[in-house]
């Protein structure tokens, strides 16, 4: 690669030809403000906040999309540049509702931060914010068009990463709006509620439907027995909200907090992740033995389920009928748990803490009431939990670590790794291998299935059967594998699909920023959680085994089918 020499604010920098001014400046430790730029996305060059002056050039250039030339002299911090950036920022702010104090992103908003950094004191232009109605049409996601700055990040993630295309830019000029298709509401289009748009939105234009107040309400209500479950991916990310390094494991502190604010029992979704593996593993073995539909595909990611229901309903038979761990938990909490501890299920409230926005829609799906009640009542995202902690003014870092309650707090490392892409598959293989071969699996790590690569596969020899598996994350990759199935080219037995890039650690309800760099650290932490467990195979979870003995009787049995399995809907039409 040819090297070029450039001068940025008189600092000499040598970079590869083709490097952008923004990247070159970063190398010289010169910080240029950005807004439409996102480290995991394509360069857009549309907000124009990152403009710089180039010697010999009349107009400014956007540093994010302008490659350096040999000998180029760039100025990033002249009065002209600063004034122009302020003006552009004021253009954006003039149309923005500026309602920071009551905004969900207050304190974690790129626009707010930039406004402070640019020292905006007034908005020269007429304030033209319209008071447009919010889109609260669905259970998961709210769109607030009054805060949208039209940076296009949400469009890119929805189209290019998820291949869903539920939102797009319509109209032109000052009428340009980012909307769900030609409709006004997300519930009118094929949105899977994955919340990836939320993760990349620099402002509060799109966010999860907040359920914090509902949780405070049930905690206040003494007639209710409130239990909470926490998904595997929450414990490795929540700390970021409180200044912990990405990948810090704060499980015990979260449990302590949840107990402190009055939950009657604090349980671990890892437990029902183990249960899912037992059911799903048996389902896979059943399908292999009895000529059932293969490849079988995992069903624990609700965004993925909505995707296949919308776009490939003809392949729904490939999807495991197992409910997700969240839903298995809910169904058991209001049946087995209620019976065992003599609590009237109508008085039980099940709260979930999930890294996911689609989970909020999952709880109200048809069939998620096999306990006789809505199995899970309220879902909070990791971010909402963070807000509750802040609201309570309890200092997370000061809390002594506490363990989950029994019996649903007993889990294995296999349950824990559900939080990362490839984890469900690895957990399943640990169980299926031992079920098929009757031998002990010594090396439990299937490293080929780990990491944020979009597409991974592995072959595992089990007696005389070579079990071939694949793992994909991000719906664009799910689409790819579904097309392979349609073309008869997917000779896999089992496929894991996670809706969100990186799996649940990259979920739409996770702390923002939620970049690839951060996701990698969360994944690393998930595998550290796995190692910390004494038992790392789901079928060896003693409580799961007791559950079968006392209640469910056998995997895929009548009771299991009734409580732990579900059916799907063709949403194409």
Q: What is the dihedral of CA 393, 398, 404, 405, to 10 degrees?
A: -70
**Shortest Å distance, C-beta 34 to other proteins:** 13
Instruction: Tell whether residue 442 is a contact of other proteins (CB under 8 A).
Output: no
**Site mask for other proteins (CB under 8 A), range 145-174, x = bound:** -----x------------------x-xxxx
Instruction: Tell whether residue 398 is a contact of other proteins (CB under 8 A).
Output: no
**Shortest Å distance, C-beta 6 to other proteins:** 16
Element housing 492 (H / E) = none
CB contact at 8 A, 259 and 266? yes
Instruction: Tell whether residue 128 is a contact of other proteins (CB under 8 A).
Output: yes
Instruction: Tell whether residue 118 is a contact of other proteins (CB under 8 A).
Output: no
Instruction: Tell whether residue 464 is a contact of other proteins (CB under 8 A).
Output: no
Instruction: Tell whether residue 179 is a contact of other proteins (CB under 8 A).
Output: no
In 273-409, where do the E strands start and end? 296-297, 348-354, 378-381
Q: Which residue has the tokens 């029994």?
A: 406
Which residues neighbour 306 within 8 Å (Cβ) at sequence distance 6 or greater? Answer: 191, 192, 193, 358, 361, 571
**Shortest Å distance, C-beta 486 to other proteins:** 24
User: Which residue lies nearer to other proteins by CB, 65 or 100?
Assistant: 65
**Site mask for other proteins (CB under 8 A), range 296-335, x = bound:** ----------------------------------------
**Site mask for other proteins (CB under 8 A), range 57-96, x = bound:** -xxx-x--xxx----------------x--xx--xx-xx-
User: Which residue lies nearer to other proteins by CB, 67 or 557?
Assistant: 67
**Shortest Å distance, C-beta 70 to other proteins:** 15
Task: Count helices and strands (H / E) in the chain.
Answer: 19, 17
The b-or-e profile of 213-238 (16+ CB within 10 A means b, else e) is eebeebbeeeebbbbbbbbbbbbbbb
CA separation for the pair 90, 101 (Å, rounded): 19
**Shortest Å distance, C-beta 67 to other proteins:** 6
CA separation for the pair 427, 442 (Å, rounded): 14
The residue from 9, 23, 27, 45 that contacts other proteins (CB under 8 A) is 45
SS3 of residue 520 by DSSP: helix
Strands 378-381 and 348-354: parallel
DSSP readout, 530-547? Answer: HHH-S---GGG-HHHHHH
CB contact at 8 A, 426 and 450? yes
Long-range pairs for 5-9: beta carbons < 8 A, 24 or more residues apart: 5/70, 5/71, 6/68, 6/69, 6/70, 6/71, 6/72, 6/73, 6/74, 7/71, 7/72, 7/73, 7/74, 8/74, 8/75, 8/76, 9/74, 9/75, 9/76, 9/77
**Shortest Å distance, C-beta 503 to other proteins:** 32
User: Which residue lies nearer to other proteins by CB, 17 or 220?
Assistant: 17
Instruction: Tell whether residue 47 is a contact of other proteins (CB under 8 A).
Output: yes
**The one segment of 38-46, 366-374, 523-531, 562-570 that binds other proteins by CB under 8 A:** 38-46
CA separation for the pair 337, 572 (Å, rounded): 37
**The one segment of 22-30, 37-45, 205-213, 316-324 that binds other proteins by CB under 8 A:** 37-45
Q: What is the DSSP letter of 67?
A: B
Instruction: Tell whether residue 124 is a contact of other proteins (CB under 8 A).
Output: yes
**Shortest Å distance, C-beta 52 to other proteins:** 11
**The one segment of 120-128, 185-193, 515-523, 565-573 that binds other proteins by CB under 8 A:** 120-128
The residue from 4, 51, 333, 436 that contacts other proteins (CB under 8 A) is 51
Of the candidates 94, 127, 100, which has an alpha carbon nearest to the alpha carbon of residue 112? 100
**Applying CB under 8 A, which residues contact other proteins?**
43-49, 51, 58-60, 62, 65-67, 84, 87-88, 91-92, 94-95, 124-126, 128, 150, 169, 171-176
């Amino acid at each position: 690669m040819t090297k070029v020499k450039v001068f940025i604010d008189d600092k000499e920098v040598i970079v590869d030809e083709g490097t952008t001014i923004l990247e070159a400046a970063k190398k010289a430790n010169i910080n240029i403000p950005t807004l439409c730029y996102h480290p995991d996305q394509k360069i857009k060059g549309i907000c124009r906040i990152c403009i710089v002056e180039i010697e010999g050039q009349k107009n400014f250039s956007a540093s994010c999309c302008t490659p350096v030339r040999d000998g180029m002299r760039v100025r990033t911090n002249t009065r002209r540049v600063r004034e122009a950036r302020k003006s552009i920022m004021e253009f954006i702010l003039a149309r923005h509702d500026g309602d920071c104090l009551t905004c969900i992103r207050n304190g974690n908003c790129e626009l707010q931060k930039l406004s402070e950094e640019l020292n905006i004191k007034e908005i020269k232009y007429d304030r033209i914010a319209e008071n447009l109605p919010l889109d609260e049409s669905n259970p998961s996601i709210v769109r607030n068009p009054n805060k949208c700055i039209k940076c296009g990040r949400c469009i890119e993630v929805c189209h290019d990463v998820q291949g869903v295309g539920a939102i797009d830019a319509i109209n032109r000029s000052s009428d340009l709006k980012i909307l769900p298709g030609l409709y006004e509401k997300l519930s009118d289009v094929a949105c899977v509620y994955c919340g990836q748009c939320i993760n990349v939105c620099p402002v509060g234009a799109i966010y999860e439907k907040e359920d914090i107040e509902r949780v405070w309400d049930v905690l206040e209500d003494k007639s209710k027995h409130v239990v909470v479950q926490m998904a595997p991916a929450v414990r490795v990310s929540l700390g970021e909200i409180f200044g912990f390094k990405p990948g810090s494991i704060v499980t015990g502190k979260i449990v302590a907090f949840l107990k402190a604010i009055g939950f009657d029992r604090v349980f671990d979704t890892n437990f029902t992740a183990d249960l899912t593996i037992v059911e799903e593993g048996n389902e896979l073995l059943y399908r292999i033995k009895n000529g059932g539909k293969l490849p079988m595909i995992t069903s624990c990611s609700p965004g993925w389920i909505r995707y296949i229901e919308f776009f490939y309903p003809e392949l729904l038979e490939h999807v495991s009928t197992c409910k997700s761990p969240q839903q298995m938990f809910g169904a058991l909490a209001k049946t087995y748990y209620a019976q065992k501890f003599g609590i009237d299920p109508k008085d039980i409230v099940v709260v979930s803490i999930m890294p996911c926005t689609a989970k909020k829609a999952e709880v109200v799906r048809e069939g998620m009431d096999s306990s006789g009640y809505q199995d899970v009542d309220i879902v909070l995202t990791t971010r909402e939990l963070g807000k509750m902690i802040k609201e309570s003014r309890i200092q997370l870092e000061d809390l002594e670590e506490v363990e989950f309650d029994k019996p649903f707090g007993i889990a294995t490392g296999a349950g824990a790794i559900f939080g990362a892409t490839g984890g469900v598959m690895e957990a399943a293989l640990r169980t299926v291998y031992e079920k098929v071969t009757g031998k002990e699996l010594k090396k439990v790590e299937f490293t080929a299935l780990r990491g944020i690569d979009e597409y991974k596969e592995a072959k595992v020899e089990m007696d005389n059967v070579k079990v071939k598996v694949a793992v994909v994350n991000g719906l664009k990759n799910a689409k790819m594998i579904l097309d392979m199935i349609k073309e008869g080219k997917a000779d896999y037995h089992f496929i894991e699909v996670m809706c969100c890039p990186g799996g649940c650690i990259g979920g739409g309800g996770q702390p923002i920023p939620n970049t690839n760099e951060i996701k990698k650290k969360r994944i690393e932490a998930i595998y550290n959680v796995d190692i910390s467990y004494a038992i790392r195979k789901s079928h060896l979870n003693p409580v799961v085994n007791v559950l079968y003995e006392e209640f469910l009787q056998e995997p895929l049995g009548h009771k299991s089918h009734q409580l732990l399995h579900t059916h799907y809907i063709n949403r194409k039409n």
